[in-house]
């Protein structure tokens, strides 16, 4: 669980955020608990932050009104080490921030589910990152072709570190 202090209309508030699934979180603010689901995540270094959250049924006194968190996904493809997977870009154009996927949190790369040259669709699992003893499937933020992979299974990464680049 993480605790944040935020300012809303010049009023300081303390919120507690607990990850309950891959893109699901339990948020408590002013004694009210709601479940939220992250609908979209973009690595837009110079863009305004505009989160899109959908609330789910709230929980009372820590007991769920329904089922538990979703089961984690199991990998479907073998991991590909980055040293064998990296290849130079063919166009010679300078990569932009939108072409890169960065680590959303510090952790360790457990597996890489794609290879250089592979076409992926937005939402496809490209890597699995272990953070805080949880396996997090990192999904492609857009449709594209994998141009370079900068990490390998077992690598420790920090927040914002480049993981891969799209063509």
In a domain, 72, yes or no: no
In a domain, 129, yes or no: yes
pTM above 0.85, yes or no: no
In a domain, 103, yes or no: yes
Q: Same domain, yes or no, for 110 and 150?
A: yes
Q: What is the dihedral of CA 98, 99, 102, 104, to 10 degrees?
A: 40
pLDDT, tens digit (0-9, with 9 covering 90-100), for 108-162: 999 999 999 999 999 999 999 998 889 999 999 899 999 999 999 999 999 989 9
Counting the structural domains of the chain, the total is 2
Q: Same domain, yes or no, for 48 and 96?
A: no
Mean per-residue pLDDT of the chain: 74
- Domain holding 111, by residue range, is 82-166
In a domain, 102, yes or no: yes
In a domain, 62, yes or no: no
Three-state DSSP string of 56-101: ECCCECCECCCCCCCCCCCCCCCCCCHHHHCCCCCCCCCCCHHHEE
pLDDT, tens digit (0-9, with 9 covering 90-100), for 38-77: 877 655 444 444 444 444 454 444 444 444 444 444 343 3
Cα–Cα nearest to 20, from 63, 80, 59, 70 = 70
Amino acid 21: pLDDT = 79
Q: Same domain, yes or no, for 17 and 87?
A: no
């Amino acid at each position: 669980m993480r605790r944040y202090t935020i300012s809303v209309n010049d009023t300081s508030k303390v919120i507690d955020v607990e990850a309950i699934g891959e893109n699901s979180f339990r948020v408590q603010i002013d004694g009210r608990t709601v479940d939220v689901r992250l609908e979209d995540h973009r690595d837009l270094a110079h863009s305004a932050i505009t989160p899109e959250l959908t609330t789910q049924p709230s929980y009372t006194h820590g007991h769920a009104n329904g089922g538990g968190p979703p089961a984690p996904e199991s990998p479907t493809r073998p991991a590909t080490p980055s040293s064998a997977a990296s290849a130079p870009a063919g166009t010679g154009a300078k990569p932009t921030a939108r072409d890169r996927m960065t680590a959303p949190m510090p952790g360790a790369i457990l597996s890489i589910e794609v290879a250089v040259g592979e076409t992926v669709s937005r939402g496809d699992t490209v890597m699995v990152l272990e953070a805080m003893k949880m396996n997090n499937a990192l999904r492609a933020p857009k449709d594209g072709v994998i141009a370079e992979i900068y990490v390998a299974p077992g690598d420790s990464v920090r927040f914002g570190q480049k993981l891969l680049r799209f063509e």
